[in-house]
Chains A and B, each alone.
Chain A
Amino acid sequence: MTFDWKWDFALEILPRLLRATLNTLMAAGAGYAIAMVLGLVFALALRSPWHLPRAVLREVLEFIRSTPLVVQIFFIFYVGPQVGITLSPWVAGMTAIGLHYSAYLAEVYRAGIEAVPRGQWEACRALNMTTRDSYVRIVLPQALPHAIPGMGNYLVGIFKDTPMLSVIGVTELMQAANSIGSETYRFLEPYTLVGVIFLALSLPTAGLVRLGERRLRRKLGL
């Protein structure tokens, strides 16, 4: 067995892989956007005063967190049509990733919200603010800096999970590498490049997240 790395082949497939990288970034971005919004909705619902819906939601989120993402992707894409929900690979993939990570982000938000001292709520109450205003104006802005490290981790996590979308044929980076491999019977270059591209994108993200957190804290005067 030999590693005969071919530079000219690597350079030849690079543009195709970079184009697929755009799709990967789009998938990660869209999935993350869904997860951020849905996660916040879930986090707030978990703090609602209604016991039964809260308990049900808690179990559902626990279920989502404790089953593999790839199973959820398959489920939504292949089982969905049997119950009348037919989604394109892209939409099914975004839904699965968004839903999966919203269950994690809900926990991150919840912890962030709980880190805001009780006295802040009491000050809101003493000023006769509505619950909605208390969240939007006072509590969530203070919860955000607490949540950012966790949010950053899951951003990298979502990004690294996008190759799973190749199982339902979303043309992201992994899918492109697979096609190149099956067309040319060369696997070393495409998969190595995929690894390098993931590394090149993941590494700066962690640094950017830390920077963002510091900036935000300073901007909020915390």
Chain B
Amino acid sequence: MDLSAYPLELPKGDCPMVRFMNVTKSYGSLVVLDNLNLDIQRGEMVSVIGPSGSGKTTVLRMLMTLETINGGVIYIDGKPLTHMARGGRLVPADEAHLRRMRASIGMCFQHFNLFPHMTALQNCMEGPVQVLGLSKAEARARAEELLAMVGMIEKKDQHPSRLSGGQQQRVAIARALAMRPRIMLFDEVTSALDPEVIGEVTEVIRKLVAEHDLTMLMVTHQMGFARDISDRICFFYKGKIEEQAAPEQFFTNPQKERTQQFLRAVKDAD
């Protein structure tokens, strides 16, 4: 792969928080993301929607470095994430580089992935103590503050098995925030929840949008929610961005035939 066309760093000043530059991802012969170009600005909330299998989750997983990429470069705050500069050129990132870069990214998963052998509080303290090197007292203070923010302080000593899905997901959000990321990724965080508890999770995300300067990328099937809180909607179709626009524009006046079809299908299903 020829990387000479990619800058070692993006010019400082108005560089985006996240830049996908010609990113390609394939599993064997299956091309999942095809030459993706996407910028996300500092503090922007971008919702990713699209049919199942269109590559939405893969976009987040690449950013979280859970997947390697097959082509292109991802930049975080102007610095390469998937690669690193060595001898004046880009080479694939090593684990040390990934660990440095990952520090600014947090992720919440569809199935929460809380640590079942730890209480809600311990879940939120684990990263700060083991990874950031905070003292137990500092980590506890931070964790309790965040658990209060997501409305889970009363349940802080419960193990995940004693919590409902909505409660687990709120703890998972607190756990991710305890690492003080600058970018938060949400992958269908309400898809595994019963309808009556979806609201308690979306309320937390609303709060984050209103009160924090996080950059957020959210995969969701909740069109109303996405429309309410996003700065931009990205519609994925077969591994490409078919259409992207501000929510009002996107939902009231979609330009592409496939977008219109998708929105009609979603509306019919509701």
Residue of A nearest to B118 (CB): A221
Given contacts A137-B126, A222-B117, contact A127 B109 (CB under 8 A): no
Q: A122-B109, A221-B159 are in contact. Are A129 and B117 (CB under 8 A)?
A: no
Bound form: Cα–Cα A125–B161 in Å: 22
Residue A120 is within 8 A (CB to CB) of chain B in the complex: yes
A119 touches B127 (CB 8 A): no
In residues 95-145 of chain A, which contact B (Cβ within 8 Å)? 117, 119-120, 122-123, 125-130, 133, 137-138, 141-142
A200 is an interface residue with CB less than 8 A from chain B: no
In the complex, the answer to whether A129 meets B131 with C-beta atoms within 8 Å is: yes
Asked whether, in the complex, the Cβ of A222 is within 8 Å of the Cβ of B179, the reply is: no
Q: Is A220 an interface residue (CB 8 A)?
A: yes
Q: A127 to B103: give the CA distance in the assembly, Å.
A: 8
The binding surface of chain B is classed by DSSP as loop
Q: Mark A59-81, 1 if CB is under 8 A from B, else 0.
A: 00000000000000000000000
CB distance from A139 to the nearest CB of B (A): 10
Interface of A is mostly: helix
Candidate in A119, A122, A128, A222 with the most chain B CB atoms within 10 angstroms: A128
Are B102 and A128 in touch, CB under 8 angstroms?
yes
Determine the chain B residues whose CB is within 8 A of the CB of A137 once the complex forms: 126, 130
Contacting residue for A133 out of B109, B117, B130, B176, CB 8 A: B130
The 8 Å CB contact of A122, one of B113, B114, B131, B160, is B113
Q: How many positions in chain A have a CB within 8 Å of any CB in the partner chain?
A: 19
Q: How far apart are B192's CB and chain A's nearest CB, in angstroms?
A: 11
Query: Number of B interface residues, CB 8 Å?
Result: 29
Contacts of A138 in B (CB 8 A): 115, 126
Contacts of A120 in B (CB 8 A): 113, 115
Distance, CA A137 to CA B127, complexed state (A): 11
Residue of B nearest to A116 (CB): B116
- In the assembled complex, the CB of B185 is this many whole angstroms from the nearest CB of chain A, namely 8
Contact with A along B158-176 (1 / 0, CB 8 A): 0111100000000000011
| A128–B109 touching, CB < 8 Å | no
Instruction: Chain A residues near B119: list those with CB within 8 A.
Output: 221
Distance, CA A126 to CA B184, complexed state (A): 10
CB contacts (< 8 Å) of B161 on chain A: these are: 221-222
Interface residues of A (CB under 8 A from B): 117, 119-120, 122-123, 125-130, 133, 137-138, 141-142, 220-222
New A-B pairs, 16, CB < 8 Å, besides A127-B127, A130-B99:
A120-B115, A125-B64, A125-B66, A125-B102, A126-B102, A126-B105, A127-B131, A127-B179, A128-B102, A129-B126, A129-B130, A129-B131, A133-B131, A138-B126, A142-B116, A221-B117
